[in-house]
Amino acid sequence: MRALEDLTFDNSYSRLPEVFYQRVNPMPFPNPHLVSFNPAAAELIDLNPGEALRTEFADFFSGARLLTGSEPLAMLYSGHQFGHYVPQLGDGRAILLGEVRNQKGEKWDLHLKGAGLTRYSRDGDGRAVLRSTIREYLCGEALHGLGIPTTRSLCIITGEEIVLRELPEPGAMLVRMAPSHVRFGNFEVFFYRRQHDNLKILADHVIQHHYPHLIKAKNRYARLLHEVAVRTGELIAQWQAAGWAHGVMNTDNMSILGLTLDYGPYGFMEEFDPSFICNHSDHHGRYSFQNQPDIGYWNIRALGQALSPLIEKDDVVKAPEIYEKAMIERYSELMRGKLGLVESHAGDDKLVTDLLNLMHSSRVDYTSFFRSLNEFQVNSDEPSSALRDQFIHREALDDWVARYWERLLAEKSQDEERKARMNRVNPKYVLRNHLAQKAISQATQHQDYSEIDRLLNLLSDPFIERSGMDEYAAPPPPGSAQIIVSCSS
């Protein structure tokens, strides 16, 4: 394991022409200090966890000092925001400190969010607040714990700086990690500027560093689009199966690697509702839970258009269909797994759809129901009272259970083996908004960061039941206020 000064940087993005970015140093906080440190993320770059105990650690990750080999820059991109093209966006409050190569040869961006003003900040202040960094820090690790591709987070740093949002709030910085932070919007900016040479340079960079098996492919740019479409389709299928909504699926928030990127007003569904909107700024529900698969289709079409100078028209047209096929197949597979089904039978999709309709009409908690379904016994064709009591329309549930029982019998399902499998795909714990809010309140009001670390540990493996942690698996307490989440979150 390495000390901070011994990290090995290999800054490939900084070797691109300077039209791709602005070289800019972070703006440090006064008196920075560590809020939380993630040893699992540190392991990805061979960083000794003991380094977080050093007083210099907060200096390095608040901009007061630069790591040896770091070449900070803010990336240029554009994108479609709520369906409308915005010609220039870019890293308005984040700075790529550099790319660290670990001993396995893997490369990880160290991206400092909340690092201060860049030329892409527009009317913003370049800062993040403690509230939003806690939400991103926890949810990135929560999705990773669920097996969903995502950016990771190394740490949160705060300092003596107040940031104005709806109200004054403590500022903070988040060190975000990913093999790359290239987005669909990085390609869009050069397409709409008609800088097709730069478009090709970027595509070659992404292929060389992240899709090297395509370097010698005859139609490598079309193959790149194909693979991004598949990865994106599978990613959104995983969101849907987990009951999770991103909230702002703009093309500048879509990763070229198929990672979950840019956590803002996200939300895990509690009572199942297909029209669930987690962003109170989304007045028309464009990014509602049920619309996410269609928005993924729309975004792949936008990426295909951006790559159109490099590929044939037919490949552009096919890309959304490739996405859709991958998304549907993966979602069907995941939902069969949540029901404990191993084989694929005709009628499985309808079995899932009918269950979700019942859950919607009875306002059943999504995560709790699937976790409790593991108790179903094939030697009894009747649901347990604990399962039945979650539903208002119990007779309708009984009809569905009879079909489910027959389906389990058809593949000779064994109760104990099925329960073990279901417990590996249906989490006991998810990052419910009231849990995140508890951690945020303790941190912002009392400078007590213990709840952040408790949740980080719990969500690192959300499938294992922990003694004394029942309250973390429960739906929000009755009468608790609805938590409003916006893009500033």
Catalytic residue, candidates 46, 91, 109, 252: 252
Residue type at 396?
Answer: A
Q: Do 131 and 218 belong to one domain?
A: no
**In this structure, how many other beta carbons lie within 10 angstroms of the beta carbon of residue 219?**
14
- Same structural domain, 131 and 212: no
**What gap in Å lies between CA 14 and CA 25, rounded to an integer?**
13
Question: For residue 435, is it within any domain?
Answer: no
Flag whether 485 is in a domain: no
Q: Angle formed by the axes of helices 415-422 and 313-338, to 10°?
A: 130
Residue 445 neighbours by CB under 8 Å, 6+ apart: none
Give the range of the structural domain holding residue 202, as residue numbers without chain letter. 185-337
Residue 367 lies in a domain: no
Instruction: Indicate the residue among 181, 199, 230 that finishes a domain.
Output: 181
| pTM of the complete model | 0.97
Domain edge (last residue) among 132, 154, 181: 181
Position 450 scores a pLDDT of 98
Max CA-CA distance within the chain? 67
Question: Up-side HSE of residue 267: CA atoms within 13 Å toward CB?
Answer: 28
23 and 171 belong to one structural domain:
yes
- Check residue 481 and give its pLDDT: 54
98 and 218 assigned to the same domain: no
Domain end, chosen from 307, 337, 367, is at 337
Does 319 fall in a domain?
A: yes
Domain check: are 173 and 208 in the same one? no
Cα–Cα distance measured from residue 136 to residue 82, given in angstroms and rounded to the nearest whole number:
21
> Do 25 and 165 lie in a common domain?
yes
pLDDT, position 476 = 87
**pLDDT computed for residue 230 by the predictor:** 98
Q: What is the per-residue pLDDT for 477?
A: 81
Number of domains in the chain: 2
Evaluate whether residue 452 is within a structural domain: no
User: Tokens in use for 258?
Assistant: 């198929």
CB 94, CB 113: distance < 8 Å: yes
Q: Is residue 100 part of a domain?
A: yes
Listed in sequence order, the residues at least 6 apart from 105 whose beta carbon sits closer than 8 Å to its beta carbon are none
Q: Is 252 a catalytic residue?
A: yes
Tokens 């008196």 found at: 31
With contact defined as beta carbons under 8 Å apart, do 443 and 130 qualify?
yes
pLDDT at 384: 77
Q: Is residue 205 part of a domain?
A: yes
- The answer as to whether 397 is a domain residue is no
Under-50 pLDDT residues of the chain: none
Residues 163 and 229 in one domain: no
In this structure, the chain runs to a length of: 489
Supply the angle between the helices 292-306 and 313-338 in degrees, to the nearest 10. Answer: 150
Same domain, 282 and 148: no
10 and 92 fall within a common domain? yes
Q: Do 124 and 223 reside in the same domain of the chain?
A: no
Q: What is the pLDDT of residue 328?
A: 98
- Same domain for 222 and 171, yes or no, is no
pLDDT at 488: 59
Long-range CB contacts (within 8 A, 24+) of 159-162: 159/28, 159/29, 159/30, 159/31, 159/32, 159/33, 159/58, 159/62, 160/29, 160/30, 160/31, 161/29, 161/30, 161/127
Task: Judge if 151 and 257 occupy the same domain.
Answer: no
